[in-house]
Amino acid sequence: MKVTIDGFPIEVEAGTTILNAARMIGGDIVPPAMCYYSKLEGTGGKCRTCLVQVTKGSEKDPRPMPKLVASCRTTVMDGMEVKNITSPEVIEARKGVVEMLLINHPLDCPVCDQAGECHLQDLGYEHGAAKTRYEFDRRTFEKIDIGDKIQLHMTRCILCYRCVFVADQITDHRIHGILNRGDHSEISTYIQKAVDNDFSGNVIDVCPVGALTDKTFRFKNRVWFTKPVEAHRECENPKCCGKVTLWYKGEDVIRVTARKDEYGEAEEFICNTCRFDKKKTSDWVIEGPRKVSHKSVISSNHYDTLHPLPVVKTNPVLIEANKEQFERETRL
Partner 1 sequence: MARKLLLEHINVPGINTFDVYRSKGGYAAVEKALKTLTPDEVVEEVKKSGLRGRGGAGFPTGMKWSFLAKPEGVARYLVCNADESEPGTFKDRYLMTYLPHLLIEGMIVASFALGAKTSYIYVRGEMMPQIRILEKAIAEAKAKGFLGKNILGTGYDLELYVQPGGGAYICGEETALLESLEGKRGNPRIKPPFPAIAGLYGCPTVVNNVESIAAVVPIINEGGDEYAKLGIGRSTGTKLISAGGNLRKPGVYEIDLGLPVEEFLYSDEYCGGIANGKRLKAVVAGGSSVPILPANLFLKTINNEPRLMSYESLADGGFVSGTMMGSGGFIAYDEDQCIVRNTWNFARFYHHESCGQCSPCREGTGWMEKVLHRLEYGHGKMSDMDLLVDVSKKIEGNTICPLGDAAAWPVASAIRHFRDEFEWHVTNPSAAVSGNFGIAHYADPLPKLEEAAS
Q: Which is nearer to partner 1, 67 or 193 (CB)?
A: 67
- C-alpha–C-alpha distance, residues 132 and 101, integer Å: 11
51 binds partner 1 (CB under 8 A): yes
Q: Which stretch binds partner 1 (CB under 8 A): 6-14, 175-183, 214-222, 275-283?
A: 175-183
128 binds partner 1 (CB under 8 A): no
166 vs 27, 81, 188, 190, CA distance in Å? 28, 33, 15, 16
Q: Which stretch binds partner 1 (CB under 8 A): 21-29, 173-181, 208-216, 309-317?
A: 173-181
Question: What is the total count of residues that contact partner 1 (CB under 8 A)?
Answer: 33
- C-alpha–C-alpha distance, residues 151 and 324, integer Å: 47
Q: Which is nearer to partner 1, 84 or 245 (CB)?
A: 84
140 binds partner 1 (CB under 8 A): no
- C-alpha–C-alpha distance, residues 326 and 329, integer Å: 5
Residue from 27, 140, 180, 324 in contact with partner 1 (CB under 8 A):
180
Q: DSSP assignment, residue 85?
A: T
- Residues 17-36 vs partner 1: string with x where CB under 8 A? --------------------
Which sign does the torsion angle of CA 310, 315, 319, 322 carry? Answer: negative
Residue 121 has φ and ψ, to the nearest 5°, of -60, -45
- C-alpha–C-alpha distance, residues 186 and 163, integer Å: 12
Per CB under 8 A, residues contacting partner 1 are 44-49, 51, 67-68, 70, 73, 93, 96-97, 99-101, 103-104, 133-134, 136, 139, 158-159, 161, 178, 180-185
